[in-house]
């Protein structure tokens, strides 16, 4: 799933092209993709977008007149691209926005499951839709991270992924951040000392910035991620093979030497506990 660095890189790439021309034709949209029906998509036609914004893992395209907001959530398999005039696009996109001048914003989704979503909302409704989100992960101070960790006792991997607590991090960047911070994915947030909180805050900032820089230059997963999906490959710090454990329906990657004092983490999948 694209997380903060991926969505922010996309936002920056889309910001100029989407506001160059007014919308000529909004839609079609796959029935499972379009989550709202009032106002209708056609309400966008003739209006100009103000650019691209981002909140957590979502993209927002407000209209220049301030009356509407198009919200896009890519989920795990959605892909949003801007096609210049004349560039060949997919035959049946999940959603399409055509601009005067011929450019198109096109959402596609691989696989049979349609999980990506498009919402057309009033600014007030968009705000309400996003109100549950916590502060943006990029820009958190060590003090804020300390407050978040102290507020409730949570395992760090789960805490970092909770969008109500910190917005923008998913399982891939939680793996990268915790490895950089040399903290166990299972460590309880309230048990961190102040030096560990500092390390965690620094890791959130530096890993997300590293990810954003690489994604802006088109970096592929294999190069951008150093721990996530690198099972058995040598840790980039100490050379120990990267290990994997299943936790809360997620696959967690970590270095047993750098993060868990040599301990191998036990499977804590919910489904296992329920058996
Ligand atoms: Zn290591």
Measure 18 CA to ligand 1 centroid, in angstroms.
Answer: 43
Measure 187 CA to ligand 1 centroid, in angstroms.
Answer: 17
Residue 275 confidence (pLDDT): 47
Measure 147 CA to ligand 1 centroid, in angstroms.
Answer: 28
Residue 254 confidence (pLDDT): 98
Residue 273 confidence (pLDDT): 53
Q: What is the pLDDT of residues 178-191, one digit of tens each?
A: 999 999 999 999 99
Residue 172 confidence (pLDDT): 97
Walk along the chain (275 residues) in steps of 10 and give the mean pLDDT of each run: 96 98 96 96 98 98 98 95 95 96 96 92 98 98 98 97 98 98 98 98 98 97 96 98 92 97 84 52
Q: pTM for the full model?
A: 0.94
Measure 128 CA to ligand 1 centroid, in angstroms.
Answer: 42
Collect residues with CB below 5 Å from ion ligand 1.
235, 237-238, 240, 255, 257-258
Measure 126 CA to ligand 1 centroid, in angstroms.
Answer: 42
Residue 271 confidence (pLDDT): 53
CA gap 244, 159 in Å, rounded: 19
For residue 54, give every residue at least 6 positions away whose Cβ sits within 8 Å of its Cβ, in sequence order, or none. Answer: 4, 7, 8, 11, 60
Rg (CA), the chain: 20
Measure 263 CA to ligand 1 centroid, in angstroms.
Answer: 12
Measure 253 CA to ligand 1 centroid, in angstroms.
Answer: 11
Joined together, the tokens standing for residue 8 give: 């922010």
Measure 183 CA to ligand 1 centroid, in angstroms.
Answer: 11
Residue 247 confidence (pLDDT): 87
Helical ranges in the chain per DSSP H: 4-15, 123-129, 142-151, 156-161, 171-180, 194-216, 221-224, 256-259, 270-274
């Amino acid at each position: 799933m694209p997380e903060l660095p991926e969505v922010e890189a996309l936002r920056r790439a889309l910001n100029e092209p989407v506001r160059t021309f007014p919308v000529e034709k909004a839609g079609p949209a796959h029935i499972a993709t379009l989550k709202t029906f009032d106002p209708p998509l056609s309400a966008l036609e003739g209006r100009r977008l103000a650019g691209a914004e981002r909140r957590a893992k979502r993209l927002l395209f407000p209209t220049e007149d301030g009356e509407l907001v198009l919200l896009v959530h890519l989920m795990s398999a959605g892909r949003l691209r801007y096609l210049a005039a004349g560039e060949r696009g997919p035959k049946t996109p999940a959603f399409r926005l055509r601009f005067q001048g011929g450019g198109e914003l096109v959402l596609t989704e691989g696989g049979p499951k349609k999980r990506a979503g498009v919402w057309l909302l009033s600014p007030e409704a968009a705000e309400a839709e996003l109100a549950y989100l916590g502060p943006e992960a990029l820009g958190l101070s060590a003090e804020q991270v300390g407050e978040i960790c102290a507020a409730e006792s949570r395992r760090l991997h789960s805490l970092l992924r909770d969008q109500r607590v910190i917005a923008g991090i998913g399982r891939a960047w939680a793996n990268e951040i915790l490895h950089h911070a040399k903290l166990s994915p299972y460590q309880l947030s309230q048990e961190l000392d102040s030096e560990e909180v500092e390390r965690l805050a620094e890791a959130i900032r530096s890993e997300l910035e590293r990810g954003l820089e690489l994604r802006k230059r088109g970096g592929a997963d294999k190069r951008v991620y150093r721990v996530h999906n690198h099972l058995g490959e040598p840790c980039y710090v100490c050379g120990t093979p990267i290990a994997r454990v299943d936790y809360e329906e997620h696959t967690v990657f970590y270095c047993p030497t750098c993060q868990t004092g040599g301990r191998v983490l036990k499977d804590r999948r919910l489904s296992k506990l329920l058996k």
